[in-house]
Amino acid sequence: MILEMCIDSVESAIASAEGGANRIEFCANLLEGGTTPSLGAIRETKRRAKIDLSVMVRPRGGDFCHTEEEFAVMQEDVRIFKEEGVDCVVFGLLNPDGTVDVDRTRQLIELANPLPVTFHRAFDMARDPFEALDTLLELGVQRILTSGQEPSVFEGTGLIRKLIEHAGDRIIIMPGCGITLKNVDRVIAETGAKEIHVAAPAPQASLMTYRNDEVFMGTALRSEEYARYVTPTQNVSALRNKIG
């Protein structure tokens, strides 16, 4: 069983490696579903963590129908991460009608070559999952990350199993979103998946002793200002030990 940890910091990357994960997906802004991380974070992760490194290429949160300018940024990010020696790039693009954006997806795959490509949970917003799966098969994508077009994997296990059966050995269907230590065995049993994608952060108190509780750096919908979330080694180890 391949365990991929979804992380957003160098500390979490190190912890994932130490805890026995096979691979990490490095993102920024996990509260927005993940966006492209900084080049500095990727370089430091490669220096400090001996683990396969997939990197998110997503210029913003929100939908997956990107402007010409956003797509140009994605192209440049794929080039940069390839030059940096990452192991996989992760992206997803849709047309306004909910189909896979074939032309742009093909362009990014060609830019990434010979790196493998994961099509992320843009898949869950596609109008027809089997149509999208067949399109991605034709394009040569190596992996699809999906919650089964539901808010969490636990609700989407039925579709995920059907997708895995339809895909066979031609492409990897990787369940992700909402997998926990408590439900991971059931998710694996009900889907038949061979790879899983898990986020397992825990709050870590700020080092600040002086705190101004009247000011915050984000919008009204925000996380705790004086805490940050880091994936502990013990959380990864517990998952690794449970799934074998």
User: Sign of the CA dihedral 161, 166, 168, 171?
Assistant: negative
Contact 84, 43 (CB under 8 A): yes
* Domain definitions of the chain by residue range: 2-202+232-243
93 contact partners, CB below 8 Å, separation of at least 6: 64, 65, 66, 71, 100, 101, 104, 105, 108, 122
- Please give, one letter per residue, the 3-state secondary structure of 22-65: CEEEECECHHHCCECCCHHHHHHHHHHCCCEEEEECCCCCCCCC
One DSSP character per residue, 82-116 reads: HHHT-SEEEE--B-TTSSB-HHHHHHHHHHHTTS-
224 contact partners, CB below 8 Å, separation of at least 6: 203
d(CA 129, CA 121): 11
Which residue do the tokens 């990490």 mark? 24
pLDDT in tens, the chain (244 residues): 999 999 999 999 999 999 999 999 999 999 889 999 999 999 999 999 999 999 999 999 999 999 999 999 999 999 999 999 999 999 999 999 999 999 999 999 999 999 999 999 999 999 999 999 999 999 999 999 999 999 999 999 999 999 999 999 999 999 999 999 999 999 999 999 999 999 999 998 888 888 887 776 765 555 567 778 999 999 999 999 999 8
The CATH fold assigned to 2-202+232-243 is TIM Barrel (3.20.20)
User: Sign of the CA dihedral 183, 184, 189, 192?
Assistant: positive
Which residue do the tokens 């306004």 mark? 96
State both tokens at 84: 């940096």
